[in-house]
Amino acid sequence: MAQEVRLDVLGEPCPYPLVMAKQKINQVAPGGRLVVDFDCTQATESLPRWAAEAGHIIEEFVKIGPAQWRIVIRRQGDAAERIRPEDYHCTIPSER
């Protein structure tokens, strides 16, 4: 298992950033980091929500371009992440 895994899902539509992040976190050693670069607006809510619900730590969540973001997730625990049918359902982020 790696201490850091990078995932570039720029250009990938929802739900792929979430689905691919759940797959890649399994390659990260407990205490290691998953760095995800994405431009899917829905993922600005789905990625941090999943990370928090799974008990992982969000170390960084920043805008890196006009419509691009980076989230850095520190893996907690050693349980394998599983993709669920509801992961394939996308919602539009609420207006703020």
Dihedral of the CA atoms 87, 89, 90, 91 (nearest 10)? Answer: -110
Which of 14, 34, 47, 73 does the annotation list as catalytic? 14
Active site residue 90: no
For residue 29, what are the CA distances in angstroms to 52, 62, 88? 18, 23, 25
Residues marked active site are found at: 14
